[in-house]
Chain A
Amino acid sequence: MTMRPGVRKFALTAHVTFSVGWLGAVAGSMAIAVAAVTSQDPQIVRGAYLTLELTGWYALVPLALASLLTGLVQSLGTTWGLFRHYWVLFKLLMNLFATIVLLLYMQTLSFLAGLAADPAASATELSVLRSPTAVIHTGGAMLLLLVAVILSVYKPRGMTAYGQRKKADRCARQHSSASHPQLLMSQP
């Protein structure tokens, strides 16, 4: 089903907003994660993980899910389709991968934030907060999202076998209806 132009534009605006918002939230998280790894002040390290957890649950996760959902609507509601063009397929796979890794990492982040919030946690225990996992995860997410932005803007050529088959079918239908208009009239 193809969306009407007004609806399509609204869906596209929503998808771009959520996706770029996700990228922005990742950039902010990366800055906080770097501060957590490099700062010598234990209070900054503790505060960084508390902020990362809040940013994760209330910005990253909702934006990731919204980006995935609006992306599905956008591709299924337009002629681009979901599996017809390689760039759309790549974006779907990258979005799914990033969202799954984010949801898995949020469990680790919640544990680390709990540790950071514990006033009884010793300096030895807090040393686990200085691991670079948050920087690695945010860096990887940023790379994936930047590639997704590049794919969206450049839309590199290339149709999948399924896309080519669908296009051939459509061409054949159009050709058939153009040479035999009476067939169309008799269609239910």
Chain B
Amino acid sequence: MSESLPRIGTPRWVKVAAIIALVVGLIFVILLLTGGGAGHGPSRHAQSDAAVAGSAPSVSTEHLVQQP
């Protein structure tokens, strides 16, 4: 019978790893929501390429004309 076997608890390494994963996950979510990392955080993945392009420093047309 399955009830006759004693149930073994969760090992300590699993608990420690789960806490680390939770902390990393929370940091990830916070960065995603706040757009942290000066535009280079995980929130960047939620944007389209056009939006990513928008995160680059803007360049004036005059400056581009001066380029060879």
- Which chain B residue lies CB-closest to A133? B40
Q: Mark B9-47, 1 if CB is under 8 A from A, else 0.
A: 011011001000100000000000000000010001100
Residues of B within 8 A of A167 (CB): 5
The one of B2, B14, B45, B57 that contacts A168, using a Cβ cutoff of 8 Å: B2
B5 touches A122 (CB 8 A): no
Shortest distance from the beta carbon of B42 to any chain A beta carbon, whole Å: 8
B11 touches A131 (CB 8 A): no
Number of interface residues of A (CB under 8 A): 32
CA distance A180 to B53 in the complex (A): 72
- Which chain B residue lies CB-closest to A127? B57
Which A residues between 53 and 93 are near B, CB-CB below 8 angstroms?
A: 86, 90, 93
Q: Does A164 contact B (CB under 8 A)?
A: yes
Residues of B within 8 A of A93 (CB): 21
The one of A104, A158, A169 that contacts B14, using a Cβ cutoff of 8 Å: A158
The one of B5, B8, B17 that contacts A171, using a Cβ cutoff of 8 Å: B5
CA distance A104 to B11 in the complex (A): 33
Residues of B within 8 A of A159 (CB): 8
**Given A124-B63, A128-B57, is A108 in contact with B1 using a C-beta cutoff of 8 Å?**
no
Main secondary structure of the interface of A (DSSP, over half): helix
Residues of A within 8 A of B21 (CB): 93
**Which residues of B are interface residues toward A (Cβ below 8 A)?**
1-2, 4-5, 7-8, 10-11, 13-14, 17, 21, 40, 44-45, 49, 52-53, 55-57, 59, 63-64, 67
Cβ-closest 6 pairs across A and B: A168-B2, A158-B11, A104-B45, A128-B56, A168-B5, A111-B49
- Pairs across A and B, CB under 8 Å, 24 listed: A86-B14, A90-B14, A93-B21, A107-B52, A110-B49, A111-B49, A111-B52, A124-B57, A124-B59, A125-B57, A127-B57, A132-B40, A133-B40, A133-B44, A157-B11, A158-B10, A158-B13, A158-B14, A159-B8, A161-B7, A164-B5, A164-B7, A165-B2, A168-B1
**Which residues of A are interface residues toward B (Cβ below 8 A)?**
86, 90, 93, 101, 104-105, 107-108, 110-111, 115, 120, 122, 124-125, 127-128, 131-133, 156-159, 161, 164-165, 167-169, 171-172
